[in-house]
Chain A
């Protein structure tokens, strides 16, 4: 037992000998929990996850003997946790609308009985190592929760319970450890959040994560097991884009960490998720989703912890052989929490007040993403998507610039596009993806061999139009040649008919890879037909007036991904639309036509 010496904001100095850095402490009469971040002789410095108002010097403090850990077992899916894995629904029932300090509710429900089916291959006497699958629990209709042994375990299985209903705390088996101790096995185990969970080895990422968002999948792909960042100033649609990814992506588990974000936004997620169905299984989306919510008004230290809680749970599902996507919104808030605590510790600030270890902490966090061979020999992945909120939209600030060096896919959001209500406001010039080569193999195999070529052509077109737009801004559109005007028009067609995607539109919200490619190919086909005509001497003005262009802009919201036949029919009719013009211009020599107004 120790006692409080000094209180300074969320930092508390304790007289607590023999504590370990990282150990959890319980402090004061309210029993506020925190973790030790420094020691000096018999005194320890701890940061508390809750507001410290009302604490007094002299009140008791005790070390709990373990670092900040999460409970991993059935009951995670569909839940909403705070930054230190307290279940907010249960906390609400217990302490009312406002989060009272010192509330202690176990993360996993203790009275729910789960139907456990043991793995028949596990026989008494067989050797067990960490990460082995003992059996499974059908946690939700879409997800079979595999019960894993704690990662560092090594021993001999003495007995395994028969199929039946168990709570998370009941013993489902016993194991004899190497040192002869006998330990019970449960449906859940704990793991410290700041230590990555072990695996056998890293695998190559191969398959793209399909999000149904055309600008992402088609232009800047992300792989399952990859790392991506979404930087954007406020109002650029960052949250909306992340929610779209969480909703539609083809991962099996989605973990959404709201780190220092808006309360109402989380409520929106909470209220809308249960109503949505998973496009891949037809089941409620909530069955494969879990949320970690530490809104901006909740204590800052718990905010710092929240992304580690999220990633640890993600790794746990990865170890069961699942593809997991974790969305962290926003890593800037996490970095600011780090800065806030560093500031109180009086650590020397480097850039913009951030501590010197910002870059290494960020890198270590993103490194927890990846596709791995699990300890049980399975394959699973964690895809990490971090939002970044650069102050003033300035991408050169420390968090964005460090992140940019770490990640492979960069979905840069632009204020200008958002202001023009071009959503998703992903800037096609600033964004990049280091996964195009790997993704191309997948697209060639599963969708169309021409994907890589067409994607590049569309990007070239967009880049060319940017150049032309600069000229237009200076001297007006009349200064352009017909060919240039057509390039500009075709780029506009791609922007409006392909890149823009309405999240709120039922049909447009999600596009399958097939639909994405069909649209891409169709718009490029229009472009090529037009280009041919322009070369023959047709003025761009006549092409621009073609009703086909306005129609093609609406195709994306007229045909859902299940209704591609109708879209294909329209695409097949593209040559017909150009036929009259072709007749007109193919017959006459181009020079004379060019001259006539």
Chain B
């Protein structure tokens, strides 16, 4: 079947081609189309019966002449060839090289859809990853095997934050960054792609990075393959070659929009905002490929970046993402406008796995309480700030004024830091105590009395 070319296309519309009379085609099989100009396009069988086969064409159906289109069914799903040589390489969304170097030749070719990990085989993420960013390490810690997205908005420095995490991420007690990075960009601008490439180059990690790029002006349907190809490579690096892999994917919004575009073409019933009902399952198929496996050394830690359409966290994409990922780092426009970098809005940010990755044996015994206290004190301080905006700062009590000073210092000194500033978690915690010491000890009820005695610098 692989070698037979069929010329039975009966209709074509918006990226979909219907083939008539090709019996026994496997669902999900890969397809090669040759058009009248001899150009090869690839596609996927999304619906199969003996009478009609529906093919999704990645490059689209523009300029396709049905009578002069020859189609071959490759009889296998989309597969990615894998070997050690993928390190340092740049591929497109379907896994073909885009760095001008030869394609990867390997007998080891894997279905990019992967297979679901058995929950019984998973190992729980526990090791603390130090990102060197206080707002993350101190209050929303990342652990190895976690998926922690960055929720951002247009014009916010999410790419810079992601690049800083890639440069600085390390495990405590281990020397250099031993992560390898799989970087996938879909629907990204050329400028963004170049920014990441240069950032990896400057920090000298380029040979530890595998890139999968589908840029904004490239086929939309290929965007659906890009993260799958990248994650297949990540799984290979993590669970075959024992690497700790950090996967950065940007921008998930572009991915979901591509999914919607294809769903509309297929005629799927839309659910919210025109996105198909299976958006959740589809995103989960990607996100859930992060993790650790029992008895395996490697791990996949995932940092998807997504821009929230009009900064709306309740939009289906961030909303469904938040239900799958283990927390989120939210960047805020208000802080960014005040010149705070990284503009992490800590209150809606959360790391669900933090509780098991910090504290005694991991970072420092006071870490969980300090984080909780920072959240509480800052939340309180924001209330006071809201009040001050209404009644004027002059009307505030002394205690409230101290609280306001705390909030300002917290934003400037704790959240704010340099793009090249790599703070150890101990520095972060000490800094936290410096700030908490601005507040009277009796107002700090989330930390224990012993911790107050040991770390609080003020006098009662």
Contact = CB atoms under 8 A, between A and B. Distances in A.
B114 interface: yes
B25 interface: yes
A99 interface: yes
A56 B272 contact: no
A473 B117 contact: no
Interface string B416-460: 000000000000000000000000001001100000000000000
B271 A352 contact: yes
Given A13-B49, A53-B27, A57-B23, A263 B117 contact: yes
B124 A271 contact: yes
B6 interface: no
A98 B115 contact: yes
A216 B156 CA distance: 41
A63 B178 CA distance: 53
Contact of A270 (B120, B287, B324): B120
A262 B124 contact: no
Given A235-B322, A504-B368, A54 B280 contact: no
B47 interface: yes
Interface in A256-296: 258, 260, 262-268, 270-271, 293, 295-296
Contacts, number: 225
A550 B117 contact: no
A478 interface: yes
A297 B284 contact: yes
Given A392-B314, A419-B379, A349 B281 contact: no
A88 B117 CA distance: 11
A437 interface: no
B24 A57 contact: yes
Nearest to B325: A262
B348 interface: yes
Contacts of A58: 23-24, 50
B339 interface: no
Interface residues of B, number: 84
A133 B125 CA distance: 44
B27 A52 contact: yes
A157 interface: no
Interface stretch (A89-97, A170-178, A566-574): A89-97
Interface string B255-297: 0000000000000111110001110110011011101011010
Contacts of B390: 473-476
B372 interface: yes
B327 interface: yes
B53 to A, nearest CB: 9
A564 B24 CA distance: 73
B445 A496 contact: yes
Given A267-B124, A504-B355, A98 B319 contact: no
Interface in A321-363: 333, 336-337, 339-340, 342-344, 346-347, 349, 352-354
A171 to B, nearest CB: 32
Given A7-B49, A53-B77, A297 B117 contact: yes
B381 to A, nearest CB: 11
B26 A391 contact: no
Chain A, interface residues (CB within 8 Å), range: 35 or more
A57 B25 contact: yes
A289 to B, nearest CB: 15
Interface centre among A98, A260, A266, A342 (most CB of B within 10 A): A98
B48 A6 contact: yes
Interface in A129-181: none
A346 B269 CA distance: 7
A421 interface: yes
A103 to B, nearest CB: 10
A52 B113 CA distance: 12
Given A6-B48, A7-B49, A263 B122 contact: yes
A354 B287 CA distance: 24
B292 to A, nearest CB: 9
A418 B376 CA distance: 10
B271 to A, nearest CB: 3
Interface centre among A8, A342, A346, A478, by most B CB within 10 Å? A8
A52 B77 CA distance: 12
A52 B347 contact: no
B328 interface: yes
B26 A264 contact: no
B387 A472 contact: yes
A264 B271 contact: no
Contact of A264 (B120, B145, B372): B145
A234 interface: yes
Nearest to A268: B124
B119 A263 contact: yes
A5 interface: yes
B14 interface: no
Given A7-B49, A300-B281, A343-B277, A420 B117 contact: no
Given A57-B50, A88-B119, A264 B353 contact: yes
A264 B276 CA distance: 26
Scoring B48, B146, B368, B383 by chain A CB atoms within 10 A of each residue's CB, the highest score goes to B48
A89 B120 contact: yes
B28 A53 contact: yes
Interface in A443-466: none
A59 to B, nearest CB: 8
A192 interface: no
Contact of B121 (A97, A297, A300, A394): A97
Given A7-B49, A264-B122, A476 B28 contact: no
A264 B291 contact: yes
Contact of A80 (B26, B50, B111, B119): B119
A295 B119 contact: yes
B269 A343 contact: yes
A104 interface: no
A545 to B, nearest CB: 9
A553 interface: yes
B457 to A, nearest CB: 20
Contact of B270 (A92, A353, A472, A550): A353
Contact of A54 (B26, B49, B119, B277): B26
Contacts of B379: 419-421
Contact of A260 (B122, B146, B239, B284): B284
Contacts of B281: 260, 296-297, 300, 336-337, 340
A340 B442 contact: no
Nearest to B374: A421
Contacts of B125: 264
Nearest to B441: A550
B291 A553 contact: no
A506 to B, nearest CB: 13
Interface string B40-84: 000000111110000000000000000000000000010000000
Contacts of B287: 296-297
B324 A296 contact: yes
B395 interface: yes
Interface of B: 23-29, 46-50, 77, 111, 113-125, 145-146, 239, 268-272, 276-278, 280-281, 284-285, 287-289, 291, 293-294, 296, 313-316, 319-320, 322-328, 347-348, 350, 352-353, 355-356, 368, 372, 375-376, 379, 383, 386-387, 390-391, 395-396, 442, 445-446
Given A54-B29, A270-B120, A299-B116, 12 more contacts: A52-B28, A57-B49, A92-B118, A235-B327, A264-B353, A270-B119, A295-B119, A297-B289, A300-B278, A353-B269, A353-B277, A420-B376
14 contacts: A5-B50, A8-B46, A53-B77, A57-B24, A89-B120, A98-B114, A98-B116, A263-B122, A264-B122, A295-B284, A296-B280, A347-B269, A353-B271, A504-B355
Interface of A: 5-9, 13, 51-58, 80, 88-89, 91-92, 95-101, 233-235, 258, 260, 262-268, 270-271, 293, 295-300, 333, 336-337, 339-340, 342-344, 346-347, 349, 352-354, 389, 391-394, 415, 418-421, 472-476, 478, 496, 504, 547, 550, 553-554
Please give me the 7 A-B residue pairs with the lowest Cβ-Cβ distance, nearest first: A392-B314, A53-B28, A296-B284, A353-B271, A6-B49, A297-B288, A234-B322
